[in-house]
Amino acid sequence: MSDYSEVCLKTFLKDQGKLFDEPVAGNIEEAEAFLEDCMAVVVDSIDEVREYFEEEGVDVDGLGPDELEEASEVFPLPDGKYLIVEG
């Protein structure tokens, strides 16, 4: 079973164009497989998004919460969590 909720998968399907020029998934199953392959993560808060980027060596100093949320790799989810997908 996937670690990705249905709402997470649907959000990625709907918004994948923010990160990719062409769709990488056409349905829920393809979205799940893609996210698993690229080891996408779901975090609970924008602070955890910042921590994730810092751990990955991305310079996020000076970026506010709104700017982090607008990053192409970050997909805000309806439940307040965030999906992070490395393109």
Q: Is 27 left (phi over 0), alpha (psi -120 to 50) or beta?
A: beta
Flag whether pLDDT at 86 surpasses 90: no
Flag whether pLDDT at 1 surpasses 60: no
**Where residue 2 falls among pLDDT bands split at 50, 70, 90?**
low
Amino acid at 84: I
**Where residue 11 falls among pLDDT bands split at 50, 70, 90?**
very high
End-to-end Cα separation, the chain, in angstroms:
23
Q: What is the pTM of this model?
A: 0.92
Question: pLDDT tens digit string along 14-63?
Answer: 999 999 999 999 999 999 999 999 999 999 999 999 999 999 999 999 99
